[in-house]
Structure formats: structure tokens, C-alpha cells
Copies of this chain bind each other. A is one copy, B any other.
Amino acid sequence: MNFKSRNIVSIWDFTKDEVEFILDSAEEMVPIARGEETNTALSGKILATLFYEPSTRTRFSFESAMKRLGGSTVGFADPSGTSFKKGETLADTIKMVDAYSDVIVLRHPQEGSARLAAEFSSKPVINAGDGAGQHPTQTLLDLFTIRQAKGKIEGNKIVFVGDLKYGRTVHSLAYALSMFGPELNFVAPETLQMPKEVVEHVTACDTKVCSGNKLEDFINDADVVYVTRIQKERFPDEAEYQKVAHIYQIKNTLLQNVKDDLIIMHPLPRVDEIAPEVDKTPHARYFEQAFNGIPVRMALLKLVLGVS
């Protein structure tokens, strides 16, 4: 399977076999990601990190991934300290950066930016989130976390809870999971339920789907609970927000009858969706999930640079 020079724009661009190949490659990266083994496979290579909006977690993990493999980075963490206000188009900036690096990571507030960048770049472009669009490396690290904890993705009962309407992360993950055929449960207030097109797509892929608005109805059968934040900004008024704000907070009392091997995931940062007391339970996987960004991104960097 050859990924050399491929762009990583959308999780849609990958077949199930390709996803599994990436996850297998990521598995091999774990000891290097943990700093237990050193590796210089990407020595001399330069990663450009263009963050048109800040995303500290994503930026740090791409930079760590590159540096754990002996590579270097150039870039910016947010556009305020750049000279881009002079009015250069994204296409021109990409053609410039293309000359200064071997691979480009782009975070941009506008949907479609990563696809555009990929068209103008001769070097591979990795989408690190483009507005309401895709964030494929987040989806891959989510899949990696489930597979690592459960041995396989197939056959799990996965509960998504929180804001399922606006969350880019849960849409992409639901799409990707539908390749593997687990059971998906969507738990959200009526106004924040999973969009119809996502439900239709995953159902068409033979994925069993149940929806509801009470987490208690689903959590005790779950293998995975994927929690997302309900954001105040989504609500027209404070009163509407307050009705749903804290209804799904994960606390130890809620976990009394769950499966022993239930895992709780969250893309982070969390605010109060998961109480800190949960961190010490064996169910908490969100910090390990954050770590998994490193081996997954290491694998992708090596693959698109054609370094084995």
C-alpha cells in the first residue's frame, strides 16, 4: 500500500483497508512516541505547520510526532504574528511554503481550505481541521484508541453523547465507524441530535443505530462512550442553554452499573462534561486518546513522505 505524496484531507479518501494499514503503522510507532526508543527516520525533513486558528493540542502533537522521528518544523501557531494581512491568497502562501518544506499541516477556519491547499501544493498536505469540514487525523486517533482498547472496532456498542449536531469530530467518526459495523447510539437533546444525513449514511452502511436523549438508557450496555461538549455559543438564549448544559455530566455515580471494560473518550479540552473524579477510574481513556495523536501522526508523516 503506497501513501507517498498523498494528501490527508478527508477520512472519506480512505478505504477500510487503508485505515487499518494506517492504524497498524501507528501501532509500531508507540514506543518511539513514548520516548522509549529513538528514531531518526525523518532526519533532514521539514514539516510546515500553518495554524490559521490556534489549536494547541493538535499543533503540539504534530510537532512532537515530527521531532520524535528526527525531523524539524517551521510554522506559526496563529496568524496574528504573520505578515499575511498584506493580502496574500492562501494559494500563494501554500506555493511559498511548498518551497520551504517537505510536508504541510494546515489548520484553517474555512471549510474546503485543505482541499484547495492540496491542489496548489506539490508536497503532501495534511488537514488539521478546516472549519465545519474535516479533521481526519482526529478521526484516525479516535479509531486507534477504540481498537487499542477493544482489540477490534467491529462489534462494539458505541454511545455518542453531547452536542451531536455541530460537532465535526463526531460526524467524521460516525462516518468512519460505519466502515467497521459497530452499533452506534446517539444521545443528545432533541435540538442537538445527529444530523439526518449522518444517520442515513451510517444506516445505509448496515450500522445499527439507536437514538435517545437519556444517557442512563444507554450507558450500561455501552463498550465506548464518546463525550463532547455542549457549547453555549450554539444557543439563541441563555435559558435554552441552561436547560441542557449539564444534563450529561459523567460522574462516578453514573458509572455504577457499567461494563467493566467500558471506555470513556473525549476529544478534549473538556470543561465540566466529565468530572475529574472519573480520571482515576479504569474507564477514563481521554488522556491516552490525546497521546494516541502522536503515533497516528507519526505514521501518517512517514507514509506521505514515503519513508519506511
Determine the interface band of chain A, counting residues with CB < 8 A from chain B: 35 or more
B55 and A63 contacting across the interface, CB-CB below 8 Å: no
Cβ of A93: which chain B residues have Cβ within 8 Å of it? 269
Contact flags A55-71 to B (C-beta < 8 A → 1, else 0): 11100110110011010
| Given A39-B44, A67-B46, A269-B92, CB of A287 within 8 Å of CB of B72 | no
Q: Give which listed residue, B75, B82, B91, B290, contacts A99 with CB less than 8 A.
A: B290
B44 and A100 contacting across the interface, CB-CB below 8 Å: no
Cβ of A96: which chain B residues have Cβ within 8 Å of it? 57, 60, 268, 287, 290
Name A100's closest neighbour in chain B (CB-CB): B64
A81 and B83 contacting across the interface, CB-CB below 8 Å: no
Is A101 part of the contact surface with B, judged by Cβ < 8 Å? yes
Q: Give which listed residue, B64, B74, B95, contacts A74 with CB less than 8 A.
A: B64
Cβ of A87: which chain B residues have Cβ within 8 Å of it? 269, 271
A269 and B78 contacting across the interface, CB-CB below 8 Å: no
Cβ of A290: which chain B residues have Cβ within 8 Å of it? 95-96, 99
CA gap between A100 and B68 in the complex, in Å: 10
Cβ of A244: which chain B residues have Cβ within 8 Å of it? none
- Chain copies in the assembled complex: 3
B74 and A63 contacting across the interface, CB-CB below 8 Å: yes
Name A58's closest neighbour in chain B (CB-CB): B83
- Cβ distance A145 to chain B, nearest Cβ, rounded Å: 12
Kindly name the residue among A45, A80, A100 whose own CB sees the greatest number of chain B CB atoms within 10 A.
A100
Is A43 part of the contact surface with B, judged by Cβ < 8 Å? yes
Q: Give which listed residue, B72, B78, B91, B287, contacts A81 with CB less than 8 A.
A: B78
| Given A54-B82, A83-B57, A99-B290, CB of A64 within 8 Å of CB of B76 | no
**A-B CB proximity, top 8 nearest:** A38-B44, A99-B291, A88-B269, A67-B72, A78-B81, A77-B81, A64-B100, A56-B82
Q: List 14 A-B contacts (CB under 8 A).
A: A35-B102, A39-B44, A46-B64, A54-B82, A57-B83, A60-B75, A61-B100, A63-B74, A64-B100, A77-B81, A81-B81, A88-B270, A92-B268, A95-B287
Residues on A lying within 8 angstroms of B by beta carbon are: 35, 38-40, 43-46, 48, 54-57, 60-61, 63-64, 67-68, 70, 72, 74-78, 80-84, 86-88, 91-93, 95-97, 99-102, 268-271, 276, 287-288, 290-291, 294
